[in-house]
Structures are given as structure tokens and as C-alpha cells.
């Protein structure tokens, strides 16, 4: 693994089993690999369009799912096996702030909104974005995961999906398997769409709820809103947050994440 790169952004390298985390700086469009996370720092952000979502979504870094990148992401969130020294982390976030400034100066948000998270990493990312454009008002933790009853998963099933009727008729055992899977995930407190069996995802409703929507009307109406999350994976959480905000009629909604998932290295 090339060990010459990450020094661009932190004073010392982060080691993974004796090898250094690689951040590609050759080209912001360079694809991530299973051993590296590519970045656009000081260039242009990655952009994503999600089917059915009108808003543009920007991301600062992309990644390919692998054991290495999982260690990197979870450790940056303070939950992983790597010891990320505070000085390194602060230098990293300083670069994130500079990069986020490229987006905020373009978007010029009036309001910044982000979901409730168990990770302090998201809050620190929001702080960096806010610092890059202090004119924006930050409305913290306005989205939450719905409180779900493991014994009643029916409200989560998207029976209005055009493929549901045929699926349910031809695959009754699969329907029961889906319900059991949902119940098990809820009971364990780990219900995330990305953890469900992929062919089922289209039949599962999102469970992100906007808190205090009525109280947000005056703040959001006719304003430019920046919705922030730490990782863009399937895009379902971000698109659902944007969809709910559209009901309050802001003038514009833009999404921003620190990481975006790249399906496979090129």
C-alpha cells in the first residue's frame, strides 16, 4: 500500500496493522479502492442525484466497502479499533472545513439541518460546515428514527409499491421472512435499511421522522436549506429527509455528506 499520501491532511499517518491509510490526491474523480478513500479536498465535490429526489447532493469523500474502509470510518466516528490521535483528527477536520466551504459558498444556506445520531462525528462535521459559513442558522437533530414496535411491522411495509402484490402472492414465505427480519432488527435496535436483504429494500418504508415540523415552518419557508449527514450509502435516508422538508416549502434544498459510498472501484 502506498504510504505517502495522507500526510497532506494530517501531521502523522493513521496506521492499520502497520500500514498507512491512503487518501488519493491525484484527481478528485479518482475512484476509491478497498484500501483507500479518495478525496477532492480543495477541488470540486462529488455530486449525486437520487432517483425521485430533485435536490442535488454533495459529498467530500467517497469509499468502497471493505474491511479497511470500515475500520477507517468507524474509527473516525470514535467507535472503531484504530487509535486516531486528537491532533491528527483536528487537522483532518480542518481540511474538511476548507472543503465544505466550497459547497457552502456555492449554496449559501440560510438553514443547516441534520439528524439525531449516536455518533459525535456527525456533530463535529456539522460544526466544521457551520464554521465554513457562519451566517447559516443550525437547527440540530431535527430528524429522528421512528419508535417502532417489533410486534407490529406492518406500518413499515410498502404495500403500495407496484411490485408488492405480485411479490406477496408468489412469495408468501419471503413475506414472512421479511417480517421476521424486521422484527429481529428492531428488537436488537439496529434497524437500518442498509442492513436488510437488498431485494427487500423497495418493500420497506423509510422510518426517519421530522420533529417539530410545524415549528419549523417559519424558519424554513422560502429559505435555502442544507441537509447534512455523515455518510451517503443507499441515499434513502437523505432523500427521505429532503422529501419531508419539501412539504414546508423552502426555496431550495441541498444535501451534503462527508462520505459517499462508491459501489465498486474502477
Domains in the chain and their CATH numbers?
A: 6-145+208-261 (3.40.50.2020), 154-203 (no CATH)
pLDDT, tens only, 48-59: 888 778 899 998
Which residue numbers in the chain have pLDDT < 70? 1-44, 78-85, 88, 118, 193-194, 263-266
Between CA 30 and CA 122 the distance in angstroms is 25
Mean pLDDT of the chain: 78
pLDDT, tens only, 5-36: 333 333 334 443 344 444 443 444 455 666 66
Name which of 113, 129, 130 is nearest 238 in CA terms.
113
Cβ atoms of 56 and 254 within 8 Å: the answer is yes
User: What per-residue confidence (pLDDT) applies to 6?
Assistant: 32
Helix then strand then coil, in percent of the chain rounded to 5, is: 40, 25, 40
Strands (E) located in 32-123: 36-39, 46-48, 57-63, 111-115
| Percent of the chain predicted with pLDDT > 70 | 77
Query: CB count, 10 Å around CB of 260?
Result: 22
Amino acid at each position: 500500500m502506498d504510504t505517502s499520501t495522507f500526510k497532506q491532511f494530517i501531521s502523522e499517518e493513521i496506521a492499520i496493522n502497520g500500514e498507512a491509510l491512503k487518501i488519493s490526491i491525484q484527481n478528485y474523480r479518482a475512484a476509491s479502492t478497498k484500501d483507500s478513500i479518495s478525496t477532492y479536498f480543495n477541488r470540486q465535490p462529488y455530486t449525486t442525484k437520487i432517483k425521485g429526489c430533485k435536490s442535488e447532493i454533495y459529498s467530500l469523500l467517497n469509499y468502497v466497502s471493505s474491511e479497511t474502509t470500515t475500520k477507517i470510518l468507524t474509527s473516525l466516528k470514535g467507535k472503531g479499533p484504530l487509535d486516531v490521535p486528537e491532533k491528527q483528527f483536528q487537522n483532518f477536520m480542518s481540511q474538511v472545513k476548507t472543503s465544505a466551504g466550497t459547497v457552502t459558498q456555492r449554496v449559501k444556506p440560510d438553514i443547516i439541518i441534520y439528524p439525531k445520531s449516536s455518533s459525535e462525528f456527525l456533530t463535529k462535521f456539522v460544526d466544521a460546515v457551520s464554521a465554513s459559513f457562519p451566517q447559516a442558522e443550525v437547527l440540530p437533530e431535527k430528524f429522528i428514527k421512528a419508535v417502532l414496535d417489533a410486534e407490529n411491522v406492518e406500518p413499515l411495509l410498502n404495500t403500495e409499491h407496484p411490485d408488492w402484490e405480485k411479490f406477496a402472492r408468489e412469495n408468501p414465505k419471503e413475506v414472512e421472512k421479511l417480517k421476521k427480519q424486521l422484527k429481529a432488527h428492531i428488537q436488537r435496535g439496529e434497524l437500518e435499511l442498509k442492513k436488510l436483504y437488498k431485494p427487500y429494500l423497495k418493500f420497506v418504508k423509510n422510518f426517519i421522522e421530522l420533529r417539530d415540523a410545524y415549528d419549523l415552518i417559519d424558519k424554513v419557508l422560502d429559505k435555502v436549506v442544507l441537509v447534512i449527514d455523515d455518510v451517503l450509502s443507499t441515499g434513502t435516508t437523505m432523500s427521505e429527509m429532503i422529501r419531508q422538508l419539501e412539504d414546508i416549502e423552502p426555496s431550495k434544498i441541498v444535501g451534503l455528506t462527508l462520505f459517499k459510498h462508491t459501489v465498486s472501484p474502477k
